[in-house]
Each structure stands twice: as C-alpha cells, then as structure tokens.
Amino acid sequence: MKQEINPKDTNRALAFELWMKSPMPMVTLTKTLDVTRIYRMSRQRSLKFNMLLCWCIGKAASRIEEFYMLPQHGKMYKYDRMAINVIVNNINGGISSCDIPFTDDLDEFSTNYINLTQSAKKNCESSFQEDMMVIGTSAMTATELDGIVNQYTDQFCNPMVMWGRYRKKWLKVSLPISFQFHHVQMDGGHAARFLEELQEVIKAI
C-alpha cells in the first residue's frame, strides 16, 4: 500500500527541507562485493545469478526503515511492501521493464522473476507495481565495469542498484556495484549500511 505522509512526522524532515528542491539530490556510492556464494549457488541449483542478486538486494533493503519511504513530486510517501525492478531485453530488440514483488521466500521470488521477465521478453510490455516501493536495478553484463553514475530525472527518484559483469579470480568471484539514492530518502550512513547488509545477505544465503 502507498500512502502520502507528512515529512515532518518522519526522521527525514530536515532532509526533506534541505534537498527536496535540489536540482541534483541523487548520491552514488560504489562498492565491490564478494558474490562467490551466489555464483556457486546459481551453478549448483540452476538458478539465475541476477535473480539471486535481486533477491539479496530486496532482503537487505527490507531491513532498513528508510527504504519504505520515497520522495516524489514534492511529497513524501510511505509503503508497506517493496519490489525489485528488472530491465529485460525483449524479442523486438528493445527493452521492457518489470517489477518483481519482493518476498522472503526465495523460491517464490524466483518463480515470479522467471514468469514476469519471460512475459516482458515475449510480449514486449512493461509491468509495474504502483503500490510498492520499487528498487531499480540495471545489469550491463556485456562488459566489466568499475562504477556507474546514472541519469537523474525528477520523474524517477527511486533507489537504483547497477552492475556489470562479475569477475572470477582463483576461488573468488567479485562484483563492483553502484548504488544511487535520493538524499531525501536516506543519508550516506543508511546507504553504507545497506551495502554492508547486502554483503552479509549474500554470504548467508
């Protein structure tokens, strides 16, 4: 469910006052993650690597209160559920977008991920979860990337996690990721905590 809230009633009141009208309120952090665990799990259980990473992103974000609030068009909204957005290459040579509802149940999330991404690929249609707080993702696996700075538009203030191709070296697999967020939604400390939580979720999956 999505509901408008008064920013003054939240811990983001000062941030809303300072940065809601900022022309460039987005902040980007980059971190290299150890993704050996999900790399091996994807091979052993024939699961998609990107699906596992998306589930880990949702799991880590669900532990942080600020992820359930989002500034949009001069207002603040609160959500009780979240989804992970995935960009899909469709059969017409373009891209489609689909929001995967997050659930703690990995098998359920995997089933939804496969069904929704395959439908987007085949039908060349995007699907959205308007009543959920959506975390955007973008996987550019055609090359290795050290970091990504995304475009900023006031039409899309959602947090975004982006990555390129993972890197294998000996027995370790690593992946640099970029995390972009709106400064009204969270501070750098919250973002850093999310990245630490993400690494812990990956190691514990």
pLDDT at 201: 98
The Cα–Cα gap between 51 and 98 comes to: 13
| Domain 2-9+24-204 in this protein, CATH class | alpha beta
Are 173 and 5 contacting, i.e. CB atoms less than 8 angstroms apart?
no
Ranges of the chain with pLDDT below 50: none
Are 74 and 50 contacting, i.e. CB atoms less than 8 angstroms apart?
no
Are 196 and 33 contacting, i.e. CB atoms less than 8 angstroms apart?
no
pLDDT at 6: 96
pLDDT at 67: 98
Mean pLDDT of the chain: 95
In sequence order, the 6+-apart residues with CB closer than 8 A to the CB of 195 are 29, 31, 33, 177, 179
Name residue 70's beta-bridge partners.
Answer: 77
